[in-house]
């Protein structure tokens, strides 16, 4: 069985820096940036993409709907 590859995308300018996604991720894929976005918030960013299991916990807890998870299996993309 091929391992599914996932890609986390965070809209940095939608994020208000609540950190809910960082705490929800069981694999420590996300972290807070040291930069600020156009609204003046430290935003969440991906730090360990390869560790992502596509559980989508981060996207489920995000109140700003700033996180998308794309899953690819054997060259087939499922968003």
5-78 under CATH 2.40.10.10, yes or no? no
- What is the token pair recorded at 64? 């700003």
9 within 8 A of 67, measured Cβ to Cβ? yes
- The structure's pTM equals 0.84
pLDDT value of position 4: 77
Where do the domains of the chain lie?
5-78
Mean pLDDT in each 10-residue stretch from start to end of the chain (79 residues)?
A: 82 97 98 97 97 97 97 65
pLDDT value of position 77: 56
């Amino acid at each position: 069985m091929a391992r599914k590859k996932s890609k986390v995308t965070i809209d940095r300018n939608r994020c208000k820096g609540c950190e809910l996604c960082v705490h929800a991720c069981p694999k420590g894929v996300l972290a807070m940036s040291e930069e600020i976005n156009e609204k003046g918030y430290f935003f969440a960013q991906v730090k360990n993409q390869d560790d992502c299991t596509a559980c989508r916990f981060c996207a489920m807890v995000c109140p700003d709907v700033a996180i998308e998870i794309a899953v690819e299996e054997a060259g087939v993309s499922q968003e």
